[in-house]
Structure 1
Amino acid sequence: MSASERIAVTIHTTVNVPLEKAWTVWSGPEHITHWAVGSPDWHTPYAENDLRTGGKFLSRMAAKDGSVSFDFTGTYDAVLHHHMIAYTMEDGRRATATFAGNGNTTLVTQTFECETENTPELQREGWQTILNNFKAYAESLR
């Protein structure tokens, strides 16, 4: 499927932390391992993040029972500090995350191109679960 034919999905959440904290929790590898998981039987035991234009990221996603794991990787296309992150995943799909602070809250919006193996709705649910985990973890650090 060409990039022009890919379906894009947008999700969002409002996190009850200031913008600076949301950005730090989103981008710090020591934090990513706590929230970047799509279901309770998975975890992210390892993460690397070189958050700059041209930088790379890697999050190792693994089943807690050790049966399977994979690396979620990509390259940053653009980074606007405390505002926007655009990246291309290893399979060529693109995604963006934007951050809009309003006092002690931050609106995080993600748009991602769907892959073709799972329905867009299933992918929306998985990505929203991860975003909800981010919210819960960030808010737990107050």
Structure 2
Amino acid sequence: METAAQKITVETTINAPVAKVWEHFNAPEHITQWCFASDDWHAPSAENDVRTGGKFRTTMAAKDGSFSFDFGGVYSNVVPQSVIEYGMEDGRTVQVTFTENGDSTTVTEIFDAEQTNPADMQRDGWQAILNNFKKHVEAN
């Protein structure tokens, strides 16, 4: 009997309107500026067709060239400036919600944990990426 995957939640509130947050979250030229967990990594390329049925792929790589991987999937539900749901290539699912709070926007990501790394490590990594996103949006 298969058990349901553990869900992990990360969240941040960004001092920007939802339209700007949505644009920076989805435009490839912005994704490459924030989609990594630490300063010794980067995202050298990103492709994104943000619509239900569309696909995305972001390459994440160590700056020293020692390791890289592609993070990708297919969107199962996209409601502009509100929600993004997608399936990753390994079968796990993610839901991202954008909640406008006047002059700020809360971004919440709920994702299925993978079975290789501890849940705390996964949460910390996804939260670090979301924190980079917040910093990027607020600086641009």
Fold-level similarity (TM above 0.5): yes
TM-score category of the 2 structures, normalised to the smaller one: over 0.9
> Which portions of structure 1, spanning 4 or more consecutive aligned residues, are displaced by more than 2 angstroms?
none
Residue matched to 1:113: 112
Q: Which AA in structure 1 matches 2:47?
A: E
Q: Distance in 1 between matches of 2:138 and 2:22?
A: 13
CA distance in 2, matches of 1:46, 1:103: 33
Number of residue equivalences: 140
- TM-score of the superposed pair, with normalisation by structure 2: 0.97
Superposition deviation, residue 70 in structure 1? 0.7
Secondary structure at the aligned position of 1:5 is classed as coil
Return the offset for 1:5: 2.4
SS of residue matched to 2:64? coil
Question: Once the 2 structures are TM-superposed, how far is the Cα of residue 47 of structure 1 from its aligned partner?
Answer: 0.1
Q: CA RMSD in A?
A: 1.1
Q: How does 1:35-46 map to 2 (within 5 A)?
A: 35-46=34-45
**Separation in structure 1 between the aligned mates of residue 44 and residue 103 of structure 2, nearest angstrom:** 30
Could you list the runs of 5+ residues in structure 1 that have no partner in the other structure?
Answer: none
* 1:2-41 alignment runs, 5 A limit: 2=2, 4-41=3-40
Deviation digits for residues 92-115 of structure 1, max 9, x if unmatched?
000010001122100100000011
| Cα distance in structure 2, aligned partners of 1:133 and 1:122 | 17
| 1:125 is the counterpart of 2:124 | yes
One-letter identity of the residue aligned with 2:77: A
What SS is found at the alignment partner of 2:121? helix
Give the letter aligned to residue 44 of structure 1: A
2:132 counterpart SS class = helix
Q: What runs of 5+ residues in structure 2 fail to find an aligned partner?
A: none
Structure 1 residue 40 displacement after superposition: 1.6
- The reply on whether 1:85 has 2:84 as its aligned counterpart is yes
